[in-house]
Structure 1
Amino acid sequence: MDRRQFLRIGGFVTASVVGVGLAACAGGDDVNTGNCESACGPGWKFPQSVASGDPQPDAIMLWTRVVPAGAGDVASCDAGDFTIRLRITDANHDAVLGSNAALSGGTVLDTPVAVQAIFDHTVRHRVSGLAPSTLYYYQFVAGDVHSNVGRFKTAPARSAAPAQLRFAVLACQDWSINHWGAFDDVAGQELDFVLHLGDYIYETVGEWFQAGPVEARHAPLSLPDGSHGNGAAGASRATTLADYRYLYKQYRSDARLQAVHERFAMVAIWDDHEFSNDCWRDAATDGDGSGDHSRQPGRRRSANQAWYEYMPADIHFSADPAAGIDNVRIYRDLQFGRLAHLVLTDERLYRSAHALPEAAPCSVSAAPLGGIGSRSMVPEALLHAAEARKMAAARAAGEHPLTPVSMLSNAQREWWQQTMKDSPALWKLWGNEVSLLRMGLDGSRAIGTLQSADSAEALVLFSQRFLLSADQWDGYDAERKALMQHLKDHGIRNVVALSGDIHAFFAGEVRDDYRATSGGSPVMVDLVTAGISSDSLFVYLKKAVGSLSAGLVPLVYQTLRVPLPGAGTLELSVNLLDYTLGAPTPTAATLAERLRVPLRGALAQAGLPEARLDATTASVLEGLQSDADFTGRLLALARGLAALHSNPWLKLANTDAQGYAVVTVTAAALRCEFRQVNKLVGDAAPATVVARTTVATVPRDSTEVSIA
């Protein structure tokens, strides 16, 4: 078998052992870099900079992409195979971190590395033989050209007891909406690594959820082959390997995201938008209108390959067509001494179809449910009845009852259970794509509180219990219960999930049976981060709720008109969704405080200079607390919704936010800082990036979550 064929089938990871040099390609065959000419001269560039990932006590995965200087930054080029060099040092180079200054001194490794055209000239090189808990600096060199300097920290020895572990949690970074100023804040933190929970790219361009202000430095995207689905007019979606590669290259062209990768190793999993919104297996919901039935294996394989090529994850991939869509395994675990064990799951590639297909009939109108009804605002009784039928059919066929209703698959679930049971670490951290928290709503109680349903249809449709999203774990309740029962049965404590996907900040208890009369018993904790830039859950529901029923609008928002001397009147949407879901009963001051970030953003879009934004915002908020409409109508409505106690396990709900989280783990407690960012100022990211920090604390051996 020749070398190119081996690389095509076995993946393209090369490897070095410190003290030995270049070792092997993934799979064990020797890498003969002598078959490739060495890059020479000045004609090279590294347009996506460098990255590192999956830190182990003795190993790291390093990444770059290198192309001829005359090639486009984001276009694939026709250059052949060649070799470059990788240099690693343990000497402190913080002074030149992120620059292309040459590394010097303290050389740990200097080795040739093969660059393959078949993998879009990306490099994935695994280095082992490193020392634990050590900062290393690295750089790739092509001819006379140096990449930017990168840095990573290896994990503690598995037997070590580190005093703390500190890392950022990121998710949902849509290029086409809002801004990426949060990455500046991440890059300025002192961290051990960065955890990314998915939606690193968005496969769509120009969809309805991407309509809105965006910073000028993010030019419009143009997919090489993109096709139109059943979404917004003029929108396109990635469908080919070239499309998905283009998105990763374009996203990684942002210097702020590059800076994060240059400074910290990243531990990444995917969610849905790396392939298709709300996907399962190779099924997409954006194709021909048939929703769950649109199976696209070729597109799924292309998405898998592009993710593997561009993310520095230490995982296995096969380009062998015989592997089908299961050609990559991203679920894995990383241990950080005896303090923390990070367990990462894949909740897309193996999951069963949603229990309610879009074509299922509505219980009232008999019309197809569609996306809203099957995956969003889902009738709880209808969902659980469908899940029960699938489980009964599996039992009758002699299968495991969870097989047709699983998010993880039987194999991954068993791996998760065994990994959690055997973990020697104090804290078990679950890198979890979609929230485990029950997010429900009793429609009849809510409508009774509002006393303003606009039609008999609304009363009929919403006089039942609803779940906010069946694409989350609420749609896979039986398997969630099985996982919680496993933790209870084996006395596994200090389990905290770190979740993303829903574009909001949440914190709360995960219970063993949310459907029990008491709401069940708490077993673990879920901490959910908002998206870096994706529009918020609140914005999405605000756009959708009026089309369902105008009488339901007060469950989500109310309009407030704020007169501004010399600047006309601002219309603000007061977020009531937080209280509908379970935010604490507000005072006039706390209700006003929730308006701080959107008000500041509205003032900025109205043209107020940034130097005046904070003072003007504070003045307006102070005035609102003596406004009769605000303290009367709006405050009363928010208090009425909060009094429903729809989800008493929720300790934090902030559904209108962008930002990220910073987690600090010690032997005594886990502390999570939810860092909400300010809105755009004109067409630029704000100079003051972080608007507020909310802290959730989980003490050791407890499922209590305190919020400050």
Structure 2
Amino acid sequence: MDRRQFLKFGSFITVSVASGAGLSACGGSSSGAAGSDLPAASGAWKFPQSVATGDPRPDSILLWTRAVPAAADNVAAVTSGADSSIRLVVTSVDNSAALGSNAALNGATVADVRLPLQAQYDNTVRHKLTGLTAATTYYYQFVAGDNRSNVGRFKTAPAADADVSQLQFVYMTCQDWSVNHWGAMSSIAAENLDFIVHLGDYIYETVGEDFQLGAVESRHDALVLPDGVFKNGTSGAKYANSLADYRYLYKKYRTDTRLQALHERFAFIAIWDDHEFTDDAWQDAQTYDGSFNADGSDLHQTSRRRNANQAWFEFMPADVSFDAANASFQNIKIYRDFQFGKLMQLVMTDERLYRSDHVIPESSINPATGKPLGRIGSRYLVPQDLFDSVEAQKMAGAKTIGLDPLTTATILGNTQRQWWMDKMKSATSTWKLWGNEVSLLRMGLNGTDAIATLLALNAVTTLATSVGTTAAAAGGNFAVAGAIVAAVTAGASAAVAQAGAGAIAAAAASGGTSGAMATAGMKAGLTAAQASIAVATYGKTIFTGPTTPAQQAAAAAQTIAFGYIKPDVQANKAESVFVAASGKKDALSAFFTRFLLNCDQWDGYNTERKTLMAHLKTNNIGNVVAITGDIHSFFAGTVNDDFDATGGGTPVMVDLVSAGISSDSFFSYLRDAASSLGDIATLVSYPLAVPVTGLGTINLNFNLLDYTMGKAAPTVASLLEQTRVQLRGGLAAKGVPEAQLDATVSAVLAGLQANSDFNTSLLALAQQLSALGNNQWLKHLNTDAQGYTLVTLTAGKMTAQFKQVNKLVGTSAPATVIARTTTATVAAGSPVVTIS
């Protein structure tokens, strides 16, 4: 921070230079207030949010704490009391034995400075210490009156020209206080790290929202906003609005000793996402459903945005600029970059403060209802043709008035986008990592194929019954029965179908080819299409070897369903006779198109994404990997130059997305949203009743969203493994002690393997959804998970371990935190990710 900035911000931000002897904090303000000018705090004090550091550079660090009198409430606002000063002591001597305790710091100091403690900043302290040695571990402690803070630790970055053999760090995101547990933080604290990257949603601005009403660990009590505003009406969920509200959330979140332990042990490099202000935010606009201006436009809340900015600045240990005198909501700049020797450049972006409105605004009027569209159709499940058209119109409009066409369709804003391009082009490190809030991966859905698959699946049971009944009338000949039912399904009369099936059987008996069989069927009166599906069904039953009557009927039924019904729906869409026969034509007609699942992420700013990828491709900028949060899932895949090109385009970089620490999963959100959509809900979840001896039935919602989005076709074994974490959580909720959970899970899964609903119906459904072929660039996806990601980076490769955590055990975090680890590897020199 330069001298001019320090003078502007006054005594809240202080800077000193490390030395063998203690120095007072340098700088001053117009009022002359500085740490050395204030009386030292005396008496009993405490540090209820402990200590923290951030933004490690080769020669500096940002240190943070909050101190209050010992009798004060831990999270109440500091509204009175004289300003005072506290001490900061820093040493490079190993104090690892004292880490996380308030034992006195030992060893020669490199800094011993007095820092101001002021009520106007809620007694928070931000201090930048410069003059440090690169790649060095330091220990520090604050002292207020008679009391010491816990001992903290940080490691400075290596020098820019240093040869670095390895870096290891965790990136994390989405830590909702109000749901699930923070056990992942205990696991992170035990890792051997150089630093932590936090990608946002450090707090959640809402209290009592629908997605926050699930089970939560008992150590997280209910949040009570000092001033909160009701989201709707005069009851229910509230959202943070005032500076006191946002400060309260940071203070409350950081009273958890597990989060404190992370800050005590590792420097953070943090950015925000949306919930530090408001859900799916853009600039200073609120996007809650039903919250619009009288003219239908989004509700802009400049004061609220500024309050959110200030609280983040006060409580996050980030070396960024903030201008309280700036009356706009863009009074803070958090995008910045970090160099870690020759190995890595880390570019951190802000994808909320400068982004334009969602291409299709939530306030757009739905012609079917005459009311604002809301989130569905604007941010989520957006028809791609509509999106492409509106984006093109907005960009053309911007160009017409002399603006950069991306001005009205940007997630970064024009200035930050150019900064990002310049940073990527000038980077000399082996790896270029991008701290990226929202996923760059295309997440699309072909609605036509999905509905065709669902209708075909729904027909299988009826068709199998019909084949069985027909076979009984045909002397037990399932091949002939299958051909008859196939022809009837394709529109033939019963008499013609019987004649055609008989002719097909006769041709087969004489050794005829499938072509000869079809010709025989047509001579008996079948059309070419009817003969084709009849021959296919006959052949499936005769030549592939099903043995039991049930297997023969099932083989014939699946051949008819996926060989005729599905293609017919794909070709004719809402006009297919099978759509009409379903009785759901009106409900299904809107889904016969391609959809973008989430336009709050980069899919909603497609042209800008293509612009960035073209920049990387044209300038031969390689080894670029985004580390991403937001969507409460694990994903790994390639970011292509143009996802809409034939084959999905050419891979340019990789995106590795981490699940949230505790926030409910993407799957759970879509499961709840789709529950009222009838058959469409099957694209997301499958109700699975699991009998457990002595406990009754555990009802699970099996995650089919992964397969709909592109997960590889499963086996029974992989379905069982996918069920494990949710089943463990279900058993824990039934009261099974944790010591018995894993053995009980294994026993229940062994029984489930023999369950026909599981090994036949669910397996077939998952395989058919996987065969839709959506999003082939996705190499790994787990949309129903909580956890974090551990990165090990060397010159030759980047290894990211997706650490999924187990669910609550009763009202506590599990003792066995990590449920499974999936590894994504990116080798230097190629934008390819492999999974193990």
After TM superposition, the score normalised by the length of structure 1 is: 0.97
Write the letter of the residue equivalent to 1:538: F
Is 2:156 the partner of 1:154?
yes
Is 2:86 the partner of 1:81?
no
* Counterpart secondary structure, 1:244: helix
Higher helix share: 2
Write the letter of the residue equivalent to 1:342: L
Q: Is contact 1:364–1:461 with CA below 8 Å preserved after alignment? A: no
In 2, distance between residues paired with 1:6 and 1:266?
22
Partner of 1:590: 718
Larger Rg: 2
**Which of 327, 330, 333 is the equivalent residue of 2:334?**
330
In structure 2, do the counterparts of structure 1 residues 292 and 197 end up closer, same or farther at CA, with 3 Å as the change threshold? Answer: farther
Shift, 1:12, TM fit: 2.3
Is 2:18 the partner of 1:18?
yes
* Identity of matched residues, %: 57
**What are the Cα deviations for residues 411-448 of structure 1, in whole angstroms up to 9, with x where unaligned?**
00000000000011110000000000000000000111
Q: Is contact 2:25–2:114 with CA below 8 Å preserved after alignment? A: no
**Which of 567, 588, 612 is the equivalent residue of 1:483?**
612
Partner of 2:304: 299
Partner of 2:320: 315
Shift, 1:621, TM fit: 1.5
In 2, distance between residues paired with 1:391 and 1:633?
47
Q: Is contact 1:680–1:686 with CA below 8 Å preserved after alignment? A: yes
Partner of 2:486: none
In structure 2, do the counterparts of structure 1 residues 368 and 284 end up closer, same or farther at CA, with 3 Å as the change threshold? Answer: closer
Partner of 1:40: 42
* Counterpart secondary structure, 2:648: coil
Shift, 1:28, TM fit: 11
Partner of 1:237: 239
Q: How many positions carry a matched residue from both structures?
A: 702
In 1, distance between residues paired with 2:31 and 2:141?
26
Shift, 1:30, TM fit: 7.5
Partner of 1:141: 143
* Counterpart secondary structure, 2:376: helix
Partner of 1:703: 831
* Counterpart secondary structure, 2:377: helix
Shift, 1:29, TM fit: 10
Stretch deviating more after TM superposition (12-21 or 648-657) = 12-21
Shift, 1:323, TM fit: 3.9
Q: Is contact 1:14–1:31 with CA below 8 Å preserved after alignment? A: no
Partner of 2:499: none
Write the letter of the residue equivalent to 2:720: A
**What are the Cα deviations for residues 57-93 of structure 1, in whole angstroms up to 9, with x where unaligned?**
1100000000111111000121221111110111111
Q: Is contact 1:358–1:369 with CA below 8 Å preserved after alignment? A: yes
Shift, 1:566, TM fit: 1.3
**What are the Cα deviations for residues 92-131 of structure 1, in whole angstroms up to 9, with x where unaligned?**
1111100000001131111111112211110000001111
Write the letter of the residue equivalent to 1:457: D
Is 2:467 the partner of 1:465?
no
In structure 2, do the counterparts of structure 1 residues 231 and 517 end up closer, same or farther at CA, with 3 Å as the change threshold? Answer: farther
Q: Is contact 2:667–2:705 with CA below 8 Å preserved after alignment? A: yes
**What are the Cα deviations for residues 377-397 of structure 1, in whole angstroms up to 9, with x where unaligned?**
111111111110000001111
Partner of 2:567: none
Write the letter of the residue equivalent to 1:336: F
Is 2:379 the partner of 1:375?
yes
Aligned alpha-carbon RMSD (Å): 1.9
In 2, distance between residues paired with 1:699 and 1:638?
31
**What are the Cα deviations for residues 593-626 of structure 1, in whole angstroms up to 9, with x where unaligned?**
1111000000000111111100111111122222
Shift, 1:359, TM fit: 2.9
Partner of 1:128: 130
Partner of 2:257: 255
In structure 2, do the counterparts of structure 1 residues 461 and 252 end up closer, same or farther at CA, with 3 Å as the change threshold? Answer: same
In 1, distance between residues paired with 2:391 and 2:88?
52
Partner of 1:661: 789
Is 2:656 the partner of 1:652?
no
Q: Is contact 1:13–1:25 with CA below 8 Å preserved after alignment? A: no
In 1, distance between residues paired with 2:96 and 2:775?
47
In 2, distance between residues paired with 1:702 and 1:260?
34
The 5-angstrom pairing of residues 343-354 of structure 1 reads 343-354=347-358
**What are the Cα deviations for residues 209-243 of structure 1, in whole angstroms up to 9, with x where unaligned?**
10110000000000000010139951111000000
Partner of 1:672: 800
Partner of 1:196: 198
In 1, distance between residues paired with 2:685 and 2:220?
30
Shift, 1:23, TM fit: 4.5
Q: Is contact 1:15–1:26 with CA below 8 Å preserved after alignment? A: no
Q: Is contact 1:25–1:31 with CA below 8 Å preserved after alignment? A: no
**What are the Cα deviations for residues 360-401 of structure 1, in whole angstroms up to 9, with x where unaligned?**
244777654221111011111111111100000011111100
In 1, distance between residues paired with 2:781 and 2:118?
47
**Which of 607, 610, 619 is the equivalent residue of 2:747?**
619
In 1, distance between residues paired with 2:783 and 2:386?
26
In structure 2, do the counterparts of structure 1 residues 643 and 29 end up closer, same or farther at CA, with 3 Å as the change threshold? Answer: farther
Is 2:415 the partner of 1:411?
yes
Is 2:400 the partner of 1:400?
no
In 2, distance between residues paired with 1:26 and 1:406?
40
In 1, distance between residues paired with 2:308 and 2:28?
21
Write the letter of the residue equivalent to 1:608: V
In structure 2, do the counterparts of structure 1 residues 28 and 584 end up closer, same or farther at CA, with 3 Å as the change threshold? Answer: farther
Stretch deviating more after TM superposition (515-524 or 196-205) = 515-524
Q: Is contact 2:24–2:112 with CA below 8 Å preserved after alignment? A: no
**Which of 499, 503, 508 is the equivalent residue of 2:628?**
499
Is 2:805 the partner of 1:683?
no
* Counterpart secondary structure, 1:692: strand
In structure 2, do the counterparts of structure 1 residues 54 and 444 end up closer, same or farther at CA, with 3 Å as the change threshold? Answer: same
Write the letter of the residue equivalent to 2:323: S
What are structure 2's unaligned runs of at least 5 residues? 459-581
In 1, distance between residues paired with 2:93 and 2:213?
47
In 2, distance between residues paired with 1:572 and 1:174?
23
Q: Is contact 2:60–2:129 with CA below 8 Å preserved after alignment? A: yes
Is 2:757 the partner of 1:629?
yes
In 1, distance between residues paired with 2:822 and 2:266?
24
Partner of 1:56: 57
Q: Is contact 1:444–1:459 with CA below 8 Å preserved after alignment? A: no
Partner of 2:641: 512
Write the letter of the residue equivalent to 1:524: M
Write the letter of the residue equivalent to 1:15: V
**What are the Cα deviations for residues 163-215 of structure 1, in whole angstroms up to 9, with x where unaligned?**
11100011000000000000000000000000000000000000001011000
In 1, distance between residues paired with 2:86 and 2:429?
39
Q: Is contact 1:169–1:194 with CA below 8 Å preserved after alignment? A: yes
In structure 2, do the counterparts of structure 1 residues 7 and 224 end up closer, same or farther at CA, with 3 Å as the change threshold? Answer: farther
* Counterpart secondary structure, 1:691: strand
In 1, distance between residues paired with 2:368 and 2:434?
39
Q: Is contact 1:676–1:691 with CA below 8 Å preserved after alignment? A: yes
Q: Is contact 2:196–2:269 with CA below 8 Å preserved after alignment? A: yes
Write the letter of the residue equivalent to 2:122: D
In 1, distance between residues paired with 2:93 and 2:32?
30
In structure 2, do the counterparts of structure 1 residues 486 and 133 end up closer, same or farther at CA, with 3 Å as the change threshold? Answer: same
* Counterpart secondary structure, 1:200: coil
In 1, distance between residues paired with 2:707 and 2:370?
31
In 2, distance between residues paired with 1:534 and 1:51?
23
After TM superposition, the score normalised by the length of structure 2 is: 0.82
Write the letter of the residue equivalent to 1:405: A
Write the letter of the residue equivalent to 1:504: S
In 1, distance between residues paired with 2:235 and 2:220?
21
